[in-house]
Amino acid sequence: MTPGPSSEGRVLTLDAGSSSLHFTLFGTDGTKIAGHDSSEAPGPDTIESLRGFLATLPAPAVVGHRLVHGGPHLTEHTLIDGRVRALLEEVTSLAPLHLPPALTVVDAARELLPDVPHVACFDTAFHRELPAAAQRYAVPEKWRIQYGLRRYGFHGLSYAWALERTAEVLDRPAHTFQAVLVHLGGGCSACAVREGRSVDTTMGLTPLEGLVMSRRSGSVDPGALLWLQSHHGLTEREISDALHRRSGLLGLSGLSGDTRDLVRARAGGHAGAEGALAAFVHSCGRNIAAMAASLERLDALVFTGEIGEDQPEVREEVCLRLRVLGLRGGLSVPTERELREQGALRIDRPGTGVPVIVVATGETQQIAAETRRFLPRPAKHALGPNRPPNEGG
Protein backbone atom coordinates (compact mmCIF):
# COMPACT_ATOMS: atom_id res chain seq x y z
CA MET A 1 0.00 0.00 0.00
CA THR A 2 1.44 3.37 -0.98
CA PRO A 3 0.23 6.90 -0.22
CA GLY A 4 -1.77 8.66 -2.86
CA PRO A 5 -1.48 12.32 -3.77
CA SER A 6 -4.05 13.23 -1.12
CA SER A 7 -2.04 11.77 1.79
CA GLU A 8 -0.11 14.97 2.54
CA GLY A 9 -0.12 15.82 6.23
CA ARG A 10 -1.95 12.78 7.58
CA VAL A 11 -0.18 10.95 10.41
CA LEU A 12 -0.75 7.36 11.47
CA THR A 13 0.33 6.57 15.04
CA LEU A 14 0.90 3.01 16.25
CA ASP A 15 1.18 2.42 19.99
CA ALA A 16 1.87 -1.17 21.01
CA GLY A 17 1.95 -2.12 24.67
CA SER A 18 2.62 -5.39 26.43
CA SER A 19 -1.10 -6.20 26.35
CA SER A 20 -2.67 -3.60 24.07
CA LEU A 21 -2.52 -2.08 20.61
CA HIS A 22 -3.75 1.31 19.42
CA PHE A 23 -3.97 2.62 15.84
CA THR A 24 -4.90 6.28 15.27
CA LEU A 25 -5.04 8.29 12.05
CA PHE A 26 -4.80 12.08 12.40
CA GLY A 27 -5.72 14.59 9.73
CA THR A 28 -3.60 17.43 8.42
CA ASP A 29 -5.04 19.76 11.07
CA GLY A 30 -4.29 17.30 13.88
CA THR A 31 -7.85 16.09 14.37
CA LYS A 32 -8.51 12.39 14.82
CA ILE A 33 -9.92 10.73 11.71
CA ALA A 34 -10.18 7.16 13.02
CA GLY A 35 -8.89 4.88 15.74
CA HIS A 36 -8.72 1.23 16.68
CA ASP A 37 -8.04 -0.07 20.19
CA SER A 38 -7.32 -3.66 21.16
CA SER A 39 -6.75 -5.14 24.61
CA GLU A 40 -4.65 -7.93 23.13
CA ALA A 41 -0.91 -7.85 22.60
CA PRO A 42 0.40 -7.63 19.02
CA GLY A 43 0.97 -11.01 17.41
CA PRO A 44 0.95 -12.88 14.08
CA ASP A 45 -2.40 -11.37 13.09
CA THR A 46 -1.24 -7.78 13.63
CA ILE A 47 -0.54 -7.20 9.94
CA GLU A 48 -4.08 -8.24 9.02
CA SER A 49 -5.56 -6.02 11.75
CA LEU A 50 -3.60 -3.06 10.44
CA ARG A 51 -4.47 -3.89 6.84
CA GLY A 52 -8.16 -3.96 7.77
CA PHE A 53 -7.87 -0.64 9.63
CA LEU A 54 -6.23 1.08 6.67
CA ALA A 55 -8.46 -0.45 4.00
CA THR A 56 -11.24 2.13 4.15
CA LEU A 57 -9.16 5.13 5.21
CA PRO A 58 -7.16 7.74 3.32
CA ALA A 59 -3.46 6.87 3.22
CA PRO A 60 -1.07 8.46 5.73
CA ALA A 61 1.93 10.55 4.73
CA VAL A 62 4.02 9.37 7.68
CA VAL A 63 3.80 6.74 10.42
CA GLY A 64 4.84 7.26 14.04
CA HIS A 65 5.68 4.35 16.33
CA ARG A 66 5.90 4.51 20.10
CA LEU A 67 9.02 2.70 21.29
CA VAL A 68 9.53 2.51 25.04
CA HIS A 69 13.33 2.16 24.91
CA GLY A 70 15.94 3.48 22.51
CA GLY A 71 18.98 2.10 24.29
CA PRO A 72 22.32 3.95 24.33
CA HIS A 73 22.47 4.77 20.62
CA LEU A 74 18.94 5.99 19.85
CA THR A 75 18.44 9.00 22.10
CA GLU A 76 16.19 11.13 19.88
CA HIS A 77 13.12 10.47 17.75
CA THR A 78 14.37 9.21 14.41
CA LEU A 79 13.44 7.73 11.05
CA ILE A 80 13.42 3.94 11.02
CA ASP A 81 15.76 2.29 8.54
CA GLY A 82 17.61 -1.01 8.56
CA ARG A 83 20.26 0.25 10.96
CA VAL A 84 17.72 1.63 13.43
CA ARG A 85 15.67 -1.55 13.27
CA ALA A 86 18.79 -3.59 14.09
CA LEU A 87 19.69 -1.35 17.03
CA LEU A 88 16.18 -1.75 18.41
CA GLU A 89 16.51 -5.52 18.25
CA GLU A 90 19.69 -5.29 20.32
CA VAL A 91 17.97 -3.57 23.26
CA THR A 92 14.81 -5.69 23.56
CA SER A 93 16.17 -7.19 26.80
CA LEU A 94 15.93 -3.75 28.42
CA ALA A 95 12.16 -3.63 27.93
CA PRO A 96 11.12 -7.27 27.40
CA LEU A 97 7.40 -6.64 27.88
CA HIS A 98 7.24 -3.69 25.51
CA LEU A 99 9.81 -3.75 22.73
CA PRO A 100 9.15 -7.18 21.16
CA PRO A 101 5.43 -6.47 20.55
CA ALA A 102 6.23 -2.95 19.37
CA LEU A 103 8.73 -4.30 16.85
CA THR A 104 6.09 -6.72 15.59
CA VAL A 105 3.98 -3.67 14.75
CA VAL A 106 6.92 -1.80 13.22
CA ASP A 107 7.62 -4.71 10.87
CA ALA A 108 3.96 -5.10 9.91
CA ALA A 109 3.56 -1.41 9.17
CA ARG A 110 6.77 -1.16 7.16
CA GLU A 111 5.64 -4.12 5.07
CA LEU A 112 2.21 -2.61 4.40
CA LEU A 113 3.48 0.96 3.88
CA PRO A 114 6.97 0.55 2.42
CA ASP A 115 7.07 3.94 0.69
CA VAL A 116 5.98 5.97 3.71
CA PRO A 117 8.49 7.33 6.27
CA HIS A 118 8.32 5.52 9.60
CA VAL A 119 9.41 7.39 12.73
CA ALA A 120 10.51 5.87 16.03
CA CYS A 121 9.31 8.00 18.96
CA PHE A 122 11.11 7.05 22.16
CA ASP A 123 9.88 7.37 25.73
CA THR A 124 13.52 7.63 26.77
CA ALA A 125 14.21 10.69 24.60
CA PHE A 126 12.63 13.15 27.06
CA HIS A 127 15.25 12.17 29.66
CA ARG A 128 18.31 12.17 27.39
CA GLU A 129 19.86 15.19 29.17
CA LEU A 130 19.55 13.85 32.71
CA PRO A 131 22.39 15.26 34.84
CA ALA A 132 25.18 12.78 35.52
CA ALA A 133 24.33 12.66 39.22
CA ALA A 134 20.80 11.51 38.42
CA GLN A 135 21.81 9.23 35.56
CA ARG A 136 24.57 7.22 37.25
CA TYR A 137 24.17 4.14 39.40
CA ALA A 138 26.72 3.68 42.18
CA VAL A 139 28.16 0.49 40.71
CA PRO A 140 31.64 -0.49 39.44
CA GLU A 141 32.96 1.49 36.49
CA LYS A 142 33.06 -1.61 34.29
CA TRP A 143 29.32 -2.03 34.74
CA ARG A 144 28.69 1.59 33.79
CA ILE A 145 31.13 1.88 30.90
CA GLN A 146 31.38 -1.59 29.39
CA TYR A 147 27.85 -2.81 30.12
CA GLY A 148 26.13 0.57 29.83
CA LEU A 149 24.34 0.38 33.18
CA ARG A 150 22.64 3.76 33.69
CA ARG A 151 19.30 5.41 34.28
CA TYR A 152 17.28 6.08 31.13
CA GLY A 153 13.81 7.04 32.38
CA PHE A 154 10.51 6.39 30.62
CA HIS A 155 7.01 7.79 29.97
CA GLY A 156 8.74 10.61 28.11
CA LEU A 157 6.03 11.07 25.48
CA SER A 158 3.44 11.41 28.22
CA TYR A 159 5.62 13.88 30.09
CA ALA A 160 6.30 16.00 27.01
CA TRP A 161 2.56 16.30 26.38
CA ALA A 162 1.74 17.01 30.04
CA LEU A 163 4.47 19.65 30.31
CA GLU A 164 3.05 21.73 27.47
CA ARG A 165 -0.51 21.42 28.79
CA THR A 166 0.72 22.49 32.24
CA ALA A 167 2.36 25.55 30.71
CA GLU A 168 -0.98 26.49 29.18
CA VAL A 169 -2.83 26.10 32.49
CA LEU A 170 -0.23 28.14 34.39
CA ASP A 171 -0.03 30.64 31.51
CA ARG A 172 3.75 30.46 31.68
CA PRO A 173 6.35 29.13 29.23
CA ALA A 174 7.54 25.65 30.17
CA HIS A 175 11.10 26.85 30.72
CA THR A 176 10.03 29.25 33.48
CA PHE A 177 8.61 26.84 36.06
CA GLN A 178 9.68 23.78 38.02
CA ALA A 179 7.33 20.87 38.56
CA VAL A 180 6.99 17.22 39.44
CA LEU A 181 5.05 15.26 36.81
CA VAL A 182 3.53 11.91 37.77
CA HIS A 183 2.39 9.32 35.23
CA LEU A 184 0.16 6.76 36.92
CA GLY A 185 -1.18 3.92 34.79
CA GLY A 186 -0.27 0.30 34.18
CA GLY A 187 3.28 1.57 34.57
CA CYS A 188 3.97 4.39 37.03
CA SER A 189 6.75 6.93 37.36
CA ALA A 190 7.53 10.45 38.50
CA CYS A 191 9.76 13.06 36.90
CA ALA A 192 11.31 16.34 38.03
CA VAL A 193 11.30 19.07 35.35
CA ARG A 194 13.33 22.25 35.58
CA GLU A 195 13.56 24.82 32.79
CA GLY A 196 11.63 22.51 30.51
CA ARG A 197 14.00 19.57 30.94
CA SER A 198 13.91 16.33 32.87
CA VAL A 199 16.45 16.49 35.69
CA ASP A 200 15.43 13.37 37.61
CA THR A 201 13.06 10.43 37.24
CA THR A 202 12.14 7.28 39.11
CA MET A 203 12.44 4.61 36.41
CA GLY A 204 15.93 3.47 35.54
CA LEU A 205 17.67 1.10 33.14
CA THR A 206 14.34 -0.65 32.61
CA PRO A 207 10.68 0.27 33.24
CA LEU A 208 10.70 -1.86 36.40
CA GLU A 209 12.29 0.55 38.89
CA GLY A 210 10.53 3.16 40.99
CA LEU A 211 6.89 3.36 42.03
CA VAL A 212 4.59 0.47 42.85
CA MET A 213 2.67 -0.24 39.64
CA SER A 214 -0.35 -2.22 38.53
CA ARG A 215 1.44 -5.56 38.17
CA ARG A 216 5.09 -4.50 38.33
CA SER A 217 6.88 -4.37 41.66
CA GLY A 218 8.72 -1.09 41.38
CA SER A 219 11.94 -0.81 43.39
CA VAL A 220 12.93 -3.84 45.45
CA ASP A 221 16.07 -4.29 47.54
CA PRO A 222 18.52 -5.99 45.13
CA GLY A 223 19.81 -7.98 48.09
CA ALA A 224 16.36 -9.51 48.44
CA LEU A 225 16.53 -10.81 44.86
CA LEU A 226 19.97 -12.32 45.46
CA TRP A 227 18.58 -13.94 48.61
CA LEU A 228 15.65 -15.44 46.70
CA GLN A 229 18.10 -16.97 44.23
CA SER A 230 20.66 -18.25 46.72
CA HIS A 231 18.38 -19.38 49.57
CA HIS A 232 15.16 -20.35 47.81
CA GLY A 233 16.42 -21.48 44.41
CA LEU A 234 14.32 -19.11 42.30
CA THR A 235 15.55 -18.82 38.73
CA GLU A 236 16.08 -15.61 36.81
CA ARG A 237 12.98 -16.38 34.74
CA GLU A 238 10.82 -16.99 37.83
CA ILE A 239 11.95 -13.75 39.44
CA SER A 240 11.47 -11.75 36.24
CA ASP A 241 7.97 -13.13 35.70
CA ALA A 242 6.97 -12.36 39.28
CA LEU A 243 8.36 -8.81 39.25
CA HIS A 244 6.84 -7.91 35.88
CA ARG A 245 3.48 -9.69 36.00
CA ARG A 246 2.48 -10.81 39.50
CA SER A 247 3.60 -7.99 41.77
CA GLY A 248 2.52 -4.38 42.30
CA LEU A 249 -1.10 -3.74 43.24
CA LEU A 250 -2.07 -7.23 42.12
CA GLY A 251 0.56 -8.88 44.29
CA LEU A 252 -0.26 -6.71 47.31
CA SER A 253 -4.02 -7.07 47.12
CA GLY A 254 -4.36 -10.62 45.84
CA LEU A 255 -7.36 -9.23 44.00
CA SER A 256 -6.60 -6.85 41.13
CA GLY A 257 -4.04 -4.51 39.64
CA ASP A 258 -6.77 -1.98 38.77
CA THR A 259 -7.22 0.87 41.26
CA ARG A 260 -10.91 1.14 40.35
CA ASP A 261 -11.47 -2.41 41.55
CA LEU A 262 -9.42 -1.77 44.67
CA VAL A 263 -11.21 1.45 45.62
CA ARG A 264 -14.55 -0.35 45.38
CA ALA A 265 -13.26 -3.35 47.32
CA ARG A 266 -11.77 -1.13 50.03
CA ALA A 267 -15.15 0.51 50.51
CA GLY A 268 -16.54 -2.97 51.05
CA GLY A 269 -13.98 -3.78 53.73
CA HIS A 270 -11.47 -5.81 51.71
CA ALA A 271 -8.26 -5.72 53.77
CA GLY A 272 -6.02 -6.65 50.84
CA ALA A 273 -7.36 -3.79 48.73
CA GLU A 274 -6.93 -1.35 51.60
CA GLY A 275 -3.33 -2.42 52.16
CA ALA A 276 -2.48 -2.30 48.46
CA LEU A 277 -3.84 1.24 48.05
CA ALA A 278 -2.03 2.38 51.18
CA ALA A 279 1.26 1.03 49.83
CA PHE A 280 0.61 2.60 46.43
CA VAL A 281 -0.12 6.04 47.91
CA HIS A 282 2.95 5.74 50.15
CA SER A 283 5.08 4.86 47.13
CA CYS A 284 3.73 7.80 45.14
CA GLY A 285 4.32 10.21 48.01
CA ARG A 286 7.87 9.18 48.77
CA ASN A 287 8.88 9.24 45.09
CA ILE A 288 7.26 12.62 44.43
CA ALA A 289 9.13 14.00 47.44
CA ALA A 290 12.37 12.53 46.08
CA MET A 291 11.78 14.22 42.73
CA ALA A 292 11.05 17.54 44.45
CA ALA A 293 14.50 17.30 46.05
CA SER A 294 15.98 17.80 42.55
CA LEU A 295 14.20 21.15 42.21
CA GLU A 296 14.81 24.56 43.74
CA ARG A 297 11.10 25.07 44.30
CA LEU A 298 7.85 23.29 43.49
CA ASP A 299 5.62 25.35 41.20
CA ALA A 300 3.16 22.54 40.41
CA LEU A 301 2.36 18.87 40.88
CA VAL A 302 0.95 17.30 37.71
CA PHE A 303 -1.00 14.04 37.44
CA THR A 304 -1.48 12.17 34.17
CA GLY A 305 -1.90 8.57 32.97
CA GLU A 306 -5.03 6.48 33.36
CA ILE A 307 -4.91 6.40 37.18
CA GLY A 308 -3.70 9.98 37.50
CA GLU A 309 -6.50 11.11 35.22
CA ASP A 310 -9.38 8.91 36.42
CA GLN A 311 -8.79 8.12 40.10
CA PRO A 312 -9.58 11.16 42.29
CA GLU A 313 -9.17 9.13 45.49
CA VAL A 314 -5.52 8.48 44.65
CA ARG A 315 -4.82 12.12 43.81
CA GLU A 316 -6.43 13.29 47.05
CA GLU A 317 -4.60 10.79 49.26
CA VAL A 318 -1.24 11.47 47.64
CA CYS A 319 -1.59 15.22 48.15
CA LEU A 320 -2.62 14.77 51.79
CA ARG A 321 0.63 12.85 52.36
CA LEU A 322 2.66 15.73 50.90
CA ARG A 323 1.72 18.64 53.13
CA VAL A 324 5.44 18.98 53.86
CA LEU A 325 5.82 20.18 50.24
CA GLY A 326 2.99 22.71 50.50
CA LEU A 327 0.32 20.51 48.97
CA ARG A 328 -3.22 20.35 50.31
CA GLY A 329 -6.27 18.14 50.00
CA GLY A 330 -9.76 19.18 49.07
CA LEU A 331 -9.09 18.77 45.35
CA SER A 332 -11.93 19.27 42.90
CA VAL A 333 -13.03 16.33 40.75
CA PRO A 334 -13.52 17.24 37.10
CA THR A 335 -15.77 15.09 34.96
CA GLU A 336 -14.31 13.03 32.17
CA ARG A 337 -16.00 15.31 29.65
CA GLU A 338 -14.59 18.46 31.26
CA LEU A 339 -11.08 17.06 31.23
CA ARG A 340 -11.29 15.81 27.66
CA GLU A 341 -12.64 19.13 26.42
CA GLN A 342 -10.12 21.24 28.32
CA GLY A 343 -7.15 18.87 28.08
CA ALA A 344 -5.81 19.96 31.45
CA LEU A 345 -7.34 21.50 34.57
CA ARG A 346 -6.13 22.97 37.82
CA ILE A 347 -7.89 21.10 40.63
CA ASP A 348 -6.49 22.55 43.87
CA ARG A 349 -8.23 25.26 45.85
CA PRO A 350 -6.59 28.54 44.76
CA GLY A 351 -4.52 30.17 47.46
CA THR A 352 -4.21 27.06 49.61
CA GLY A 353 -0.93 25.58 48.42
CA VAL A 354 1.07 24.35 45.46
CA PRO A 355 -0.99 24.18 42.25
CA VAL A 356 -2.21 20.66 41.39
CA ILE A 357 -2.99 19.98 37.74
CA VAL A 358 -4.50 16.95 36.04
CA VAL A 359 -3.75 16.39 32.36
CA ALA A 360 -5.67 14.09 30.05
CA THR A 361 -3.33 11.38 28.80
CA GLY A 362 -1.82 12.51 25.51
CA GLU A 363 0.84 10.03 24.42
CA THR A 364 -0.88 9.41 21.09
CA GLN A 365 -1.15 13.12 20.31
CA GLN A 366 2.50 13.60 21.26
CA ILE A 367 3.57 10.78 18.94
CA ALA A 368 1.66 12.50 16.15
CA ALA A 369 3.23 15.87 16.95
CA GLU A 370 6.76 14.46 17.00
CA THR A 371 6.15 12.42 13.84
CA ARG A 372 4.76 15.39 11.97
CA ARG A 373 8.15 17.10 12.31
CA PHE A 374 9.53 14.56 9.85
CA LEU A 375 7.17 15.54 7.06
CA PRO A 376 8.95 17.24 4.15
CA ARG A 377 8.61 21.00 4.14
CA PRO A 378 6.78 22.48 1.14
CA ALA A 379 9.10 23.78 -1.55
CA LYS A 380 9.39 27.57 -1.35
CA HIS A 381 8.80 28.06 -5.07
CA ALA A 382 5.39 26.39 -4.73
CA LEU A 383 4.14 28.88 -2.16
CA GLY A 384 3.67 31.86 -4.37
CA PRO A 385 4.86 35.43 -3.76
CA ASN A 386 4.68 36.90 -0.23
CA ARG A 387 3.15 33.72 1.13
CA PRO A 388 4.80 32.31 4.29
CA PRO A 389 5.27 28.56 4.74
CA ASN A 390 2.63 26.77 6.77
CA GLU A 391 4.44 25.95 10.03
CA GLY A 392 1.37 24.54 11.72
CA GLY A 393 1.17 21.33 9.68
What is the tens place of the pLDDT at every residue in 203-233? 999 999 999 999 999 999 999 999 999 999 9
Q: Based on the residue annotation, tell me whether 310 is a catalytic residue of this protein.
A: no
Strand order in the sheet with 300-304: 197-201, 188-194, 178-184, 300-304, 356-359, 344-346
Distances in Å between the alpha carbon of 83 and those of 42, 63, 78, 108?
A: 23, 18, 11, 17
CA torsion through residues 124, 340, 163, 276, sign? negative
pLDDT band at 376 (very low <50, low <70, confident <90, very high): confident
Q: What is the pLDDT of residue 352?
A: 79
- How far is the C-alpha of 46 from the C-alpha of 380, rounded, in Å? 40
Q: What is the pLDDT of residue 297?
A: 97
Mean pLDDT over the full length of the chain: 93
Q: What is the pLDDT of residue 7?
A: 56
3-state SS track over the chain: CCCCCCCCCCEEEEEECCCCEEEEEECCCCCEEEEEEECCCCCCCHHHHHHHHHHCCCCCCEEEEEECCCCCCCCCCEECCHHHHHHHHHCHHHCCCCHHHHHHHHHHHHHHCCCCCEEEEECCHHHCCCCHHHHCCCCCHHHHHCCCCCCCCCCHHHHHHHHHHHHHHHCCCHHHCEEEEEEECCCEEEEEEECCEEEEECCCCCCCCCCCCCCCCCCCCHHHHHHHHHHHCCCHHHHHHHHHHCCHHHHHHCCCCCHHHHHHHHHCCCHHHHHHHHHHHHHHHHHHHHHHCCCCCCCEEEEEHHHHHHCHHHHHHHHHHCHHHCCCCCCCCCCHHHHHHHCEEECCCCCCCCCEEEECCCHHHHHHHHHHCCCCCCCHHHCCCCCCCCCCC
For residue 392, pLDDT beyond 50: no
pLDDT band at 17 (very low <50, low <70, confident <90, very high): confident
- How far is the C-alpha of 209 from the C-alpha of 171, rounded, in Å? 33
Q: What is the pLDDT of residue 378?
A: 62
pLDDT band at 190 (very low <50, low <70, confident <90, very high): very high
pLDDT digits (tens, 9 = 90+) for 68-108: 999 999 999 999 999 999 999 999 999 998 999 999 999 99
* Domains and their CATH numbers in the chain: 11-122+367-382 (3.30.420.40), 170-361 (3.30.420.40)
For residue 382, pLDDT beyond 80: no
Tell me the HSE value of 196 on the side-chain side, using a 13 A CA sphere. Answer: 7
pLDDT band at 178 (very low <50, low <70, confident <90, very high): very high
Q: Which of 15, 123, 200, 299 is catalytic?
A: 123
* Nearest in space to 128 (alpha carbons), one of 69, 174, 210: 69
| Spatial CB neighbours of 285, under 8 Å, sequence gap ≥ 6 | 318, 321, 322
pLDDT digits (tens, 9 = 90+) for 277-332: 999 999 999 999 999 999 999 999 999 999 999 999 999 999 999 999 999 999 99
Find the angle CA(342)-CA(343)-CA(346) to the nearest 5 degrees: 75
Tell me the HSE value of 215 on the side-chain side, using a 13 A CA sphere. Answer: 11
pLDDT digits (tens, 9 = 90+) for 120-156: 999 999 999 999 999 999 999 999 999 999 999 999 9
